[in-house]
Amino acid sequence: MANTYTFSMTAQDIAESVIRKTGAYEEDENIPADKLASALQALNVIAKDLAIEGPGLWCTEDVSFVGVVGQATYNLSTIMGMPLPPKIMAAYIRTLGPSPQSVGNDVTLTLISRYDWITLGQKFAAGVPNQIWYDPQLTGGILTLYNVPNDTFHEIHVIVQRQIADVPVLTSTMDFPQEAFRMLIWQLLDELSLEYRLPPDERAEINKKAVGFKQRFFDSQFVQDSASTFFTPSEKMAR
């Protein structure tokens, strides 16, 4: 038999598993629709909250656009066609021309803070961009380039952490890898344990497991990128 890698769980699978773990319903009982709807809402809240833990590799995207001559600001929400990415992790600029020798050259763009942007002189000077400032607002994620593009031969690339997708209906699958299902089940059980009036000692045990499974998942290779670490002696220490 050939190996398969397609195991998945819908929001309803997770919700039913959790509600039955509370002991409120037997295996042969139908769980009321309002209970499932309440669990779905809690699952969406949990998914949004888990984004705080950091950028999962599955939520990392390389977004690119060609700079427009004379235009300093760009709305990443519009470019991506989705809600604003909460964080930019890295950025670089790729040369598209005009000479064949320069095509494909990538140079890192420096991410600067709001304060750094404020203190820049000649904010709208024309040239090849070498710095970017990202301003995530509710109305959209605004990216500002410095210098302002003076040609169309450069493509801006930003590595972003996109938001975790909503779970609109119970038949939807979660925007998480398979390895997160156990963590999600215990997170939801922890969230609903008080609503289902589980005993304090049982809630404490559930919370302990929920915290442990969350830590285990977010410390894993499914979230953390693998890269070498280099240590360089400080000039101050060398003196």
Q: Which of 163-167, 169-173, 225-229 has the highest mean pLDDT?
A: 169-173
Q: What is the DSSP string of 141-158?
A: EEEEEESEE-SSSEEEEE
pLDDT of residue 233: 60
Sheet hosting strand 73-75, strand order edge to edge = 73-75, 140-146, 131-137, 110-112
106-118: pLDDT as tens digits: 999 999 999 999 9
| Lowest mean pLDDT segment, chosen from 82-86, 174-178, 181-185, 230-234 | 230-234
pLDDT of residue 83: 83
What residues have CB less than 8 Å from 115, skipping those under 6 apart?
A: none
The stretch 194-221 carries a mean pLDDT of: 94
211-234: pLDDT as tens digits: 999 999 998 866 666 555 455 565
The stretch 128-147 carries a mean pLDDT of: 93
